[in-house]
Amino acid sequence: MLLSRKLTDNISSKWMVTCLTFCLLLPLAIGTGLVFKSTPLLSEHRLSELVFSKDWFPSDNRFGFWSFIVSSVWVTVLSLIISIPLCLLSAIYLTQYAPKWFLKFMRPVIDILAGIPSVVYGVWGLLIVVPLVGDKIAPFFGKESLGYSLLAGAIVLAVMSIPYILNMLLEVFRQMPVELGEASLALGATKWETIKHSFLRKGSTGIISAFGLGFSKALGETIAVLMVVGNVVQIPKSMFDSGYTLPGLIANNYGEMMSIPSYDSALMFGALLLFVIIVIINVIFRYIIYKSEAL
């Protein structure tokens, strides 16, 4: 073999290993960087106080993240309540009932939904969802609302997570063995009974994981929610109240970071919190998917 070819091979494989190592170290670097920046805050305050206190007075050096955590969980759970039935039933329709051309037509629709930037969803939320909640939905329930509310955030978030969840569900139903359907139909079941009793059970791990990963995706969403949720620091009492999510807090206060001591550290602690929660959720559900595929 020519020396130059051997050398190329050598250099190239070293470069490959370098790149891979870099990718694998990235999350470690993110974690370390955020821990490093939150240390000043953590040395002054107890962790339980930071997480469970609802007193957010940065100028008094009091940082309680509880109201942000509550808002984030509210918005995310509400959004799943909206998107779960939508995604599950349309995945069922597309894979079980619809003609093939319709599924083909839906693929680019899902692609486009997935590609629309967060800020455009935010614009849509401002123009359509906020007035809808303020003028129609809240009065319908006999409540008053500005529209800038947890519900508005949840609706926008639900629409944003549709392509993400729906794609995973389509994959779950696509992998369902045809013979399982045949076996159930041959026993005299209707199509819906086959789906309900056989497919939903057989695919249960995949379906739950899709929702779990959808949850973590929605939890980290920033700009679109920030634009419609109202951004008021409070423990919301209903879904028509305004809230303030954790990612929104970080994004909104970027300019003021420097002026108050430990504020900067507190925001980085918020990012760390988000990072840790989302990584844990991802690890759990990815692991479930991996286990069910390995069987």
Partner 1 sequence: MMTFRRKYEERFFRALSFLFTAIIVFVLVQIIWTVVKKGFPSLSWQMITQEPKGGFYFGKDGGILNAIAGSFYLAVCSTILAFVISLPVALFMNIYLIRYQRLLIGIRFFLDVLWGVPSIVYGAFGFTLLMYLGYKNSLGAGIITVAAMITPIMIRAMDEVLKTIPIGLQEASYALGSTKTETAYKVFFREALPGFATAILLAFGRGIGDAASVLFTAGYTDHIPHGFSEPTATLPLAIFFQLSSPIEEVQNRAYAAAVILTVIVLVLSVSARLIKMKK
Partner 2 sequence: MSTQIETLLKSNLTTTVVHNNIPVVEIDKVNVYSKGHHILKNVSTIIPKNKITVLLGPSGCGKTTLLKCLNRLTDLYPDLKVSGSIRIDGDNIFDAHKDITAIRQKMGLLLQRPYPLPMSIYDNIAYGLKLKGIRNKKIISAKVEKHLKEVALWDEVKDRLKTSAQRLSIGQQQRLCLARGLAVEPEIILADEPSSALDPISSRVIEEEFIKLKSGYTIILVTHILRQAKRLADNVIFMYYGEIIESGPAQQVFENPQSEILKEYLRVGH
String marking each residue 169-208 x if it binds partner 2 according to CB under 8 A = --------xxxxxxxxxxxxxx--x---xx--xx------
Interface of this chain with partner 1, residues 111 to 150, rule: CB under 8 A: 111-124, 126-128
* Bridge partners, 63 (sequence order): 56
Decide: 216 and 281 in contact? Cβ < 8 Å.
yes
What is the nearest approach in angstroms of partner 2 to the Cβ of residue 285? 20
Q: Give the residue with the Cβ less far from partner 1, 26 or 238.
A: 26
Question: For partner 2, how many residues bind (rule: CB under 8 A)?
Answer: 21
Q: Does 24 bind partner 2 (CB under 8 A)?
A: no
Q: Which residues contact 83 (CB under 8 A, 6 or more apart)?
A: 158, 159, 161, 162, 165, 214
Residue 93 interacting with partner 1 (CB under 8 A)? yes
Out of 75, 150, 213, 229, which residue is the one contacting partner 1 (CB under 8 A)? 213
Q: Which does 26 bind (CB under 5 to 8 A by kind): partner 2, partner 1, none?
A: partner 1
Residues 41, 244 contacting (CB under 8 angstroms): no
> Residue for token digits 């056989």?
198
Binding characters for partner 2, 100-129, by CB under 8 A (x = yes): x-----------------------------
β-pair partners for 230:
243
40 versus 181: smaller Cβ distance to partner 2: 181
Distance CA 120, CA 214 (A): 20
Question: Minimal distance in Å, beta carbon 8 to partner 1?
Answer: 6
Q: Which of residues 12-71 bind partner 1 (CB under 8 A)?
A: 12-13, 15-17, 19-20, 22-24, 26-27, 29-30, 33-34, 36-37
Which of partner 1, partner 2, none binds 47 (CB below 5-8 Å, type-dependent)? none
Rounded-to-integer distance, Cα 61 and Cα 43, Å = 13
Report, in this order, helix, strand and coil percent for the chain, each rounded to 5: 80, 0, 20
Nearer to partner 1, 178 or 258 (CB): 258
Cα–Cα separations (whole angstroms), residue 215 to 104, 154, 165, 255: 27, 12, 9, 29
- From 221, 278, 274, 255, select the one nearest 38 (Cα to Cα): 274
Residues of this chain that bind partner 2 (CB under 8 A): 99-100, 177-190, 193, 197-198, 201-202
